[in-house]
Structure 1
């Protein structure tokens, strides 16, 4: 029996009233706050602090800043999940369940 793939939630940098959320680096800040939540726990060593967690990554999708939050974070650290989802709710940001598809390279012109 295979387990279902965890869902992904896109926190969009647009408020429920349609305004762009500020500051402009909010997505990087939010994802940075959760950067230590990684598969296998936090790994120490040089450079361990660099990079985002695969459970919470900033992206720009169709010119809208977003943070993609993987539901697996809820099982790893429920307080981190609550933090990020409460951030979205408290700031009245739009949240949608979606799936980030891998980019397909364009075919060369014939």
Structure 2
């Protein structure tokens, strides 16, 4: 379950029992499917870049996808698709929220 305060959710390429999820390009595939969901909606050529709401990356040696809360606000079915992908594949999910930058020292 994802709390309402989380701004970002990390879907890790590691199953609940610690195995690496396959195929190795799963994160890029998932983010590619979600590329049409973006601020302002899909536009010509938007399929050529990832949505800022669903970005593949790595954490340590593991692939992951960072899903921003704005995706849920924009299209709840798209959010459910991503969360169900994680659930159906028994992937680990971690929440995160942005913290303000510390004040600049003078």
TM-score of the pair, normalised by structure 1 = 0.80
The 1:95–1:20 alpha-carbon spacing in structure 2 relative to 1, beyond 3 Å, is same
Match of 1:87 in 2: 85
- Of Structure 1 and Structure 2, the greater helix share is in 2
Structure 1: gaps spanning 5 or more residues? 102-110
Measure how far apart 1:6 and its partner are: 6.3
In structure 1, what is the equivalent of residue 24 of structure 2?
Answer: 24
Could you tell me the TM-score, scaled by structure 2's length?
0.83
Q: Could you tell me which residue of structure 2 aligns to residue 104 of structure 1?
A: none
Which structure would you say has the larger Rg? Answer: 1
**Match of 1:105?**
none
Does the 8 A contact of 1:10 with 1:69 survive in 2? Answer: yes
How far did 1:100 drift?
Answer: 7.2
Matched, 1:14 2:14: yes
Residue by residue over 1:46-95, the C-alpha shift from the partner in whole angstroms, topping out at 9 and shown as x without a partner, is: x3321100000000111110000001101101100000000000100000
CA contact (8 A) 2:7 2:69 kept: yes
Runs of 5+ consecutive residues of structure 2 not aligned to the other structure: 100-106
1:67 paired with 2:65, answer yes
The aligned residue for residue 36 of structure 2 is 36
Count of aligned positions: 95
**Alignment partner of 1:83: what SS?**
helix
